[in-house]
């Protein structure tokens, strides 16, 4: 028997699921007044037409509806109508320049670089001060810091609260060098690794020093806007939070802001 990739099998299954079996127009009408709905409600809808659907078949129907853009997954087991939007940040000229300088000196370095200006898309508080966050392997953070410090003035290595408040807050063109957590969820855009939205959300939650401007009610707004605007992989979010020792705290926080 020939072996097929999972992607091939998924595509074949989708091809074989006719639009009649997905009941697309009826599904749109059924859920059009609901802001969001659970997997259980979709199952109940599909069972109205085929009461004896197996769990596996139902899952493939839901998978097909998401892939077609009929359903949008907004968190684990929760959906809304419409196409799925994925977060894809812009790589700024400053990021490109900084990435090039670091890679020239450390060509084999595992590097993630992003700008805190990305957070403005989700926040009410529109700060005018942005930081370039440079995250590298733990063993080489000091070397990267020294290299950048020789070229630029406002470079800080894992700043403490005291250092941040005294020196970083009022500085311009700040670069913060941090340790890149292993298995952090990152994106590769034009050969430049940058933070995924899941990583940004967890970083804001875990680091109250660097992201002090986004705590309290502001963080709640950021989370709500991020989840409503883009598809968030909650499993990826919690895995990264677990790597940072904050999984249970984040789970409780998600329940709190979702009113559960």
When mean pLDDT is compared across 8-12, 48-52, 89-93, 254-258, the lowest value belongs to 8-12
Q: Per-residue pLDDT tens for 97-125?
A: 999 999 999 999 999 999 999 999 999 87
Q: Per-residue pLDDT tens for 184-236?
A: 999 999 899 999 999 999 999 999 999 999 999 999 999 999 988 887 888 89
Higher pLDDT, 66 or 144: 144
Is the confidence at residue 7, as pLDDT, over 80?
no
DSSP states along 77-109: TEEEESPPP-------HHHHHHHHHHHHH-TT-
Average pLDDT over the chain, rounded to an integer: 87
Provide the whole-model pTM.
Answer: 0.72
Q: Strand, helix or coil at 158?
A: coil
Q: What pairs with residue 3 in β-bridges?
A: none
198: closest CA among 175, 246, 230, 158?
Answer: 230
pLDDT of the residue at 176? 97
With pLDDT > 90 as the criterion, what percentage of the chain qualifies? 55
Rounded to an integer, the average pLDDT of 50-77 is 85
Higher pLDDT, 197 or 68: 197
Kindly report the backbone phi and psi dihedral angles of residue 63, in degrees, each rounded to the nearest multiple of 5, phi listed first: -55, -45
pLDDT of the residue at 1? 40
pLDDT of the residue at 18? 52
Is the confidence at residue 4, as pLDDT, over 70?
no
Q: What are the chain's domains?
A: 6-81 (1.10.10), 93-257 (no CATH)
């Amino acid at each position: 028997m020939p072996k097929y990739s999972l992607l091939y099998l998924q595509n074949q299954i989708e091809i074989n699921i006719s639009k009649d079996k997905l009941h697309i127009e009826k599904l749109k009408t059924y859920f059009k007044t609901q802001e969001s709905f659970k997997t259980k409600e979709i199952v109940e809808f599909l069972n109205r037409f085929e009461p004896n659907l197996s769990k596996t078949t139902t899952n493939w129907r839901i998978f097909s509806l998401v892939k077609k853009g009929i359903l949008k997954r907004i968190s684990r087991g929760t959906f809304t109508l419409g196409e799925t939007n994925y977060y894809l940040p812009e790589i700024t000229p400053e990021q490109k320049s900084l990435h090039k300088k670091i890679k020239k000196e450390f060509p084999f370095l595992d590097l993630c670089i992003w700008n805190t200006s990305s957070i403005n898309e989700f926040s009410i508080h529109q700060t005018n001060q942005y930081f370039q966050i440079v995250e590298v392997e733990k063993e080489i953070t000091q070397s990267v810091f020294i290299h950048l410090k020789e070229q630029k003035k406002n470079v800080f290595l894992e700043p403490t609260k005291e250092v941040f408040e005294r020196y970083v807050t009022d500085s311009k063109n700040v670069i913060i060098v941090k340790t890149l957590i292993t298995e952090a969820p990152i994106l590769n855009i034009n050969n430049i690794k940058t933070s995924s939205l899941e990583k940004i959300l967890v970083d804001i939650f875990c680091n109250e020093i660097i992201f002090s401007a986004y705590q309290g009610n502001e963080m709640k707004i950021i989370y709500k806007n991020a989840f409503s605007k883009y598809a968030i992989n909650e499993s990826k979010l919690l895995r990264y939070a677990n790597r940072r020792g904050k999984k249970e705290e984040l789970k409780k926080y998600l329940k709190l802001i979702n009113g559960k």
